[in-house]
Structure 1
Amino acid sequence: MAHKKNNDDNQEEPVIRDKRRVDPETGNVREPADAGDGTDGVDASASAPAAGTDGAAADDDTEDGAELTDADQVLLDQAATDLVAEMRSDMLRAQAELVNFRTRVERDRALNRDAVIAEVIRSLLPALDDLALAETHGDLKDGAPLTIVAQKIRGAFEKYGLKQVGVKGEPFDPAFHEAVVQLPNPEVTVNTIGDVISAGYVLGDRLVRPAKVAVFVPAE
């Protein structure tokens, strides 16, 4: 029995450590365990880099690597300048092409307009010839109904710039006159219109119909 008692006395009681952060009796926050107390004493700050030392240096290295050098900045500025110059050149070329296109459209529109007017006038020239013949015969008297009609028709044509060409006594011009007959005449030194068979007409710079004339040519 004594031996058993000795064994019970030598047996170590288990050690219980209270790791609670808050003391249940006082309610105060306990200080962390000492460094020598196993894993509980490990200082967490020892494993983390100190503020402003290695971490800051790493950040500085990263930022320094992202910065452009002077040579890179010059190349970037030159590329931007070239791009702006190219875009400006394209814009000016597009504007010039647009202006040329508008000019061509306006010119073609004017030419088409003149061509249509000239064609309409050409179809009405026989009526003008009849009015001119009636005037020659004395049928167009002041105040007569036919005279008023003739004045209105001629005024409408003149409104569009229609002009008569081929006048007796003026020099012969093959660009506007058509020689029906040539008669030698010692009184002229150049080919001259001796008589107008039918008047010619121009609309602006466009010849609607050449004048048919008799031409006096110098006698040999």
Structure 2
Amino acid sequence: MTGKDFEEPNGDEVQPDAEGADAQDATAPEAQEGTDAATQEPELTIEDILDAAQTDDAAEADHSDYETQLLHDLKRLQAEYANYRRRTEEQRHIEIARAKGEAVKGLIPVLDDLDRADKHGDLTEGSPFAAIAEKVRGVAERMGLVAYGAVGEAFDPQQHEAIFQQPIPGTTEATILEVVELGYRLGEIELRAAKVVVAVPAE
């Protein structure tokens, strides 16, 4: 065998190193474990759990306070609306009564004439005039017109207008001695006070 037949390996060529490959394979799992550990979330402590619970309790308390305030506002609005409806209804009834009162006032002079005719004996029963008087009075009553003032009643300055005072022996309190004009009211609305002669105690 000559020197040409046997050639030594070229020093530039690198042969695989079995031990180096094994070392790289051995370190690979350790690097993977280190990566997994770095990506894992940190463990919660008892303080963290307590802080989170307190935060939830505070949020729940704020929500409860909001609901309580909302319920209070709703009840207040309901009460205000109920009062508004009540005042509106009362005002409506008053306005209706006033409008009816203005219409009925036109009948009062006619009723006064009928009362005077009755006192003078002009409304004899069965006469056409008496029939007409009954119809007019019926219309006034259906409209809610109420007449008041009668002889013998106690004098009330809120309802009666005294046009004359007559001292009467034995009288202990002021009473109506004579009704000059009847008073009229429609519901709670005073259309006219009764004009009366009042009997008062004699001195």
TM-score (normalizing by structure 1): 0.70
Root-mean-square deviation (Å): 3.4
Superposed CA deviations along residues 11-30 of structure 1, whole A, max 9, x for unmatched, are x9xxxxxxxxxxxxxxxxxx
Q: Is the 8 A contact 1:177 1:200 kept in 2?
A: yes
Specify the alignment match of 2:146 in structure 1.
163
- Unpaired runs of at least 5, structure 1: 1-11, 13-34
Match of 1:28 in 2: none
Tell me which of 63, 73, 79 is aligned to 2:62. 79
* Aligned match of 1:206: 189
Rounded Cα–Cα distance in structure 2 between residues aligned with 1:175 and 1:144: 38
Cα distance in 2 for partners of 1:103, 1:45 equals: 84
Which residue of 1 is the match for residue 96 of structure 2? 113
Greater relative contact order, per chain length (Cα 8 Å cut-off, separation 6+): 2
Q: In structure 1, what is the Cα distance between the partners aligned to 2:193 and 2:185?
A: 8
Aligned to 1:174: 157
How far did residue 141 of structure 1 move?
A: 3.3
Q: Distance in 1 between matches of 2:106 and 2:189?
A: 15
Q: Which residue number corresponds to residue 24 of structure 1?
A: none
What is the alpha-carbon distance in structure 2 between the residues aligned to residue 113 and residue 130 of structure 1?
27
1:217 and 1:93 mapped to 2: Cα distance? Answer: 56
Deviations 1:64-123 (A, max 9, x none): x89971110110110010000000000000000000100110111111111122222223
How many equivalent pairs are there?
A: 189
Which residue does 1:150 correspond to in 2? 133
Q: Give, in whole Å, the separation in 2 of the partners of 1:50 and 1:111.
A: 90
The equivalent of 1:140 in structure 2 is 123
Match of 1:193 in 2: 176
* TM-score (ref. length: structure 2): 0.75
Q: Distance in 2 between matches of 1:85 and 1:71?
A: 21
Q: Aligned residue for 2:4?
A: none
State the secondary structure of the residue aligned to 2:79: helix
Task: Give the one of 109, 114, 118 matched to 1:131.
Answer: 114
Q: 1:59 to 1:158 in 2, by over 3 A?
A: farther
Paired residue secondary structure (2:62): helix
Once residues 54 and 43 of structure 2 are traced to their aligned partners in structure 1, the CA distance between those partners, rounded to angstroms, is 21
Are the counterparts in 1 of residues 184 and 190 from structure 2 also a CA contact under 8 Å? yes
Tell me, yes or no, if the aligned pair for 1:122 and 1:209 is still in contact at 8 Å.
no
Percent identity between matched residues is 35
2:202 is the counterpart of 1:219 = yes
1:96 matched residue in structure 2 = 79
